[in-house]
Amino acid sequence: MKIGIRRAILVIPALLLLVGCSSTDEVQPKPEPSATSQAATTTQALSASATVKRVIDGDTIEVDDSGKATVIRLLNIDTPETKHPNKTVQCLGPEATEFLERKLPAGTQVHLEYDVQKKDKYDRTLAGVFLLDGEFVNEEIARSGFGTAVVFEPNSKFYARVLNAQNMAINTKTGLFSPDISCSIPAQINALQSRMESAQTQEELDSLLSEADLLIEILEKVPTDEAFTHLASYGATFAAQKQLIQLKDLKSKYAQTIPAQSAVDDGSAGETNTQHDAAEMEQVAAEQQAAAQRIAEEQAEAAQAEADRVASEQAEAAQAEADRVAAEQVVQPEYAPAPAPDNPNPEPAQPAPQPTYQEPAPVQEPYPNYTGPRCYAPGGKTWKPCP
């Protein structure tokens, strides 16, 4: 659907409040540091100690560096704009500034760590900012959802740490990634859906669909201008890709919710428009019927596949149970039979010899034919003739 020039002028500033920017010479974020910057980070990094004088915005501060006022642009983090003379205040820009003011009040001692390139084209010093207890401020901004990870070539020393912190904000739906903050992209998508659901006229729906088209275009075709660095880094996230899909589905769902209005009947032209509208409605009906039929077929195929799977599992379980019962019913012998003898015809066992009883030999008379008196020895078993 198309939108008039006047409506586009009203919609674009509202959506651009969603984007962040930076006044540095920035490019779209890259998932991996370049080979040049990787080699450069192997060299010894320069560092310095300084005292915070004031916070300029969410990613820029002024410090006292050995008695010299120095503007520091935090490396590998970009926050929404708040004070650019030619740009509007962007979503969570003031909140990012307040966060940094709480983190770095005037008088705070910090440690500055530099990368390959120390100055940008605006003569600002580029650095990672650390508190004395080791807390990495650049990283904490991203973790709190007030900025996104970016690469300002050739400086990529802190990109991995800041990107990891940004992913934590995405997972916890914090800050720029929160659907509860009205100006965030997730909240804007939810608001579009709610307004589409309650749209009563074709004109109202056309306006909402045009806003969705513009937001889709911004997420798909991020401008290379440095003012859109923050949006470029946001659009490179997986969360933004999911939101882009959500937007497209939303537009597809509501694009044909309200039938197109018929043109004013002005004779033959009105009749032609009516026929055209009828043809379009028939085409829409045919497409909807085809889609319904396709969904029904897919559901039937899924149901049949599920039934086949259940039947197969039940058959396998029944077979396993039958095999188990059959195995339990096999009778096992209680003892092993005695082995067969080596000799199939053994000799019969001979009876043991019985002991024979022998009568004692008769006692020989020592004095045969003696009839005289006998004198017995003690015990009375032997005798001899008495003298």
pTM to 2 decimal places:
0.55
* 98 domain residue, yes or no: yes
* 162 domain residue, yes or no: yes
* 12 domain residue, yes or no: no
Question: Which bin fits 87, alpha (ψ -120 to 50), beta or left (φ > 0)?
Answer: beta
* 147 domain residue, yes or no: yes
Give the DSSP H or E segment for 109.
strand 109-113
- The tally of domains found in the chain comes to 1
* CATH code assigned at 77: 2.40.50.90
Enzyme catalytic residues: 73, 81, 124
Strand, coil or helix: what is 50?
A: strand
What pLDDT, on the 0 to 100 scale, is given for residue 225?
60
What pLDDT, on the 0 to 100 scale, is given for residue 147?
93
* 331 domain residue, yes or no: no
* 11 domain residue, yes or no: no
* 41 domain residue, yes or no: yes
Give the DSSP H or E segment for 61.
strand 60-65
What pLDDT, on the 0 to 100 scale, is given for residue 171?
93
What pLDDT, on the 0 to 100 scale, is given for residue 298?
75
Q: Are the beta carbons of 84 and 21 closer than 8 angstroms?
A: yes
Mean pLDDT of successive 10-residue stretches along the chain, which has 387 residues: 36 45 39 44 67 96 96 95 69 94 98 96 96 97 95 93 95 93 88 87 86 80 62 73 83 68 45 59 68 72 80 87 83 57 62 64 69 79 78
What pLDDT, on the 0 to 100 scale, is given for residue 262?
39
Q: Which domain holds residue 38?
A: 29-171
* 115 domain residue, yes or no: yes
User: pLDDT tens across 91-113, in order?
Assistant: 899 999 999 999 999 999 999 99
Inter-CA distances, 169 with 140, 231, 236, 264, 331, Å: 10, 16, 15, 53, 68
User: pLDDT tens across 186-226, in order?
Assistant: 888 888 888 888 888 888 888 888 888 887 877 777 656 66
